């Protein structure tokens, strides 16, 4: 598979108080308690499940991701690097913007694999080519949980690995539904899985409890296509620190974001999105009429 290669735009750092946690998260331990937690999911818009993915499955997935990060050809649909990696590739004298995909791939080969791996931010579209990552997406208790919460058998429609490297930039506050051409009433479940320790310092997920019930919020192009910082004033978000194998299932209308990674370590996570098998797409214009026209041609 041919990867497209992209770079994050360098952006100013976020205000620290955008990611201040108010209170501790209620979670369940393992899948057994899930049926009793459905009401909590409906009310909060998310549910944290501890020890959700067995160690051998998550370790095999992490190893597969590490190999993708070290290799030249990750064999997925898109690889995104932190913006700071651009200047390393440009040492050959050619600006990245002027390189075609072939030249980008070639210039990646000239970089030390450890340096390349230390700047990867995101892989997308890998479940057809990577067995271990596919196995996590298809893990039966996870799919059963999504089926219960989405109300019908799920289909996976997006896969991402989110590796926030040391210094890796924020993913500003947003609603995932804003990025999907799906009717507003479609029950879209995101699943964000920690493959290592996740802390507020290295880029934990922050969520606005109950925020999905307020419906769609207009997004604007600021540091990203995002909810404006001013719309978050007075909000009381909560941080979701996790251990490897913990995850959060969330409604795609929940406002969420992750701060800059202030540590020297990479933060490894997987994110899958599912809808019910009967979900139908809508035209992009219909989505942009709700979430804002500046979202044309952006991806989450
Ligand atoms: O993992 C992250 O840092 C952000 C993930 C996220 O919210 C997204 O990609 O929609």
Residue with CA at minimum distance from ligand 1 atom 3: 258
Helix (H) or strand (E) holding 141: helix 140-150
Q: Kindly state the tokens that stand for 232.
A: 């978050």
Rounded CA-CA distance 290/221 in Å is: 15
Whole-number Å distance, alpha carbon 171 to ligand 1 midpoint, is: 6
Task: State if residue 176 touches ligand 1 by the CB under 6 angstroms criterion.
Answer: yes
Spacing of C-alpha 284 from chain mean position: 21
Dist. CA 175 → ligand 1 center (Å):
10
Task: Indicate the domain borders of the chain.
Answer: 4-295
Could you tell me the distance, in angstroms and rounded to a whole number, from the CA of residue 300 to the centre of ligand 1? Answer: 8
Cβ(269) to ligand 1 under 6 A? yes
- Check pocket membership of 258 for ligand 1, CB cut-off 6 A: yes
How confident is the prediction along the chain (300 residues), in pLDDT tens digits per residue? 657 889 888 889 999 999 999 999 999 999 999 999 999 999 999 999 999 999 999 999 999 999 999 988 899 999 999 988 988 888 877 888 888 888 888 888 888 999 999 999 999 999 999 999 999 999 999 999 999 999 999 999 999 999 999 999 999 999 999 999 999 999 999 999 999 999 999 999 999 999 999 999 999 999 999 999 999 999 999 999 999 999 999 999 999 999 999 999 999 999 999 999 999 999 999 999 999 999 888 877
Shortest-distance Cα residue to atom 8 of ligand 1: 300
Find where tokens 């994050």 sit.
Answer: 8
Strands (E), the chain: 4-7, 27-29, 46-50, 78-81, 120-124, 154-164, 171-174, 189-194, 205-207, 220-221, 225-226, 238-240, 247-251, 256-258, 267-276
Class of domain 4-295: mainly beta
Angle value at C-alpha 123, between 68 and 162, nearest 5 degrees: 105
């Amino acid at each position: 598979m041919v990867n497209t290669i992209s770079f994050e735009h360098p952006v100013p750092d976020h205000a620290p108080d955008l990611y201040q946690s108010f209170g501790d998260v209620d979670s369940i331990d393992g899948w057994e308690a899930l049926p009793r937690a459905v009401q909590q999911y409906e009310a909060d818009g998310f549910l944290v499940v501890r020890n959700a993915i067995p160690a051998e499955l998550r370790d095999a997935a992490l190893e597969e991701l590490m190999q993708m990060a070290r290799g030249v050809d990750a064999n997925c649909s898109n690889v995104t690097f932190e913006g700071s990696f651009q200047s390393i590739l440009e040492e050959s004298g050619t600006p990245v913007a002027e390189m075609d995909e072939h030249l980008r791939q070639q210039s990646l080969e000239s970089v030390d694999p450890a340096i390349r791996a230390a700047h990867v931010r995101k892989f997308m579209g890998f479940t057809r080519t990577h067995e271990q990552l596919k196995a996590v997406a298809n893990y039966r208790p996870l799919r059963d949980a999504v089926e219960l919460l989405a109300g019908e058998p799920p289909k996976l429609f997006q896969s991402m690995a989110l590796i926030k490297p040391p210094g890796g930039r924020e993913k500003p506050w947003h609603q995932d539904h804003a990025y999907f051409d799906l009717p507003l009433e479609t029950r879209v479940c995101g699943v964000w899985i920690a493959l290592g320790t996740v802390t507020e310092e290295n880029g934990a997920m922050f969520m606005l409890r109950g925020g999905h019930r307020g419906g769609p919020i207009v997004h604007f192009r600021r540091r990203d296509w995002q909810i404006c910082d001013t719309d978050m004033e007075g909000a009381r978000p909560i941080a979701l620190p996790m251990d490897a194998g913990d995850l959060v299932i969330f409604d795609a209308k929940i406002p969420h974001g992750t701060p800059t990674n202030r540590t020297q370590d990479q933060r490894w996570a997987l994110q899958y999105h599912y809808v019910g098998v009967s979900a139908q797409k809508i035209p992009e214009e219909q989505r942009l009429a709700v979430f804002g026209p500046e979202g044309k041609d952006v991806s989450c």
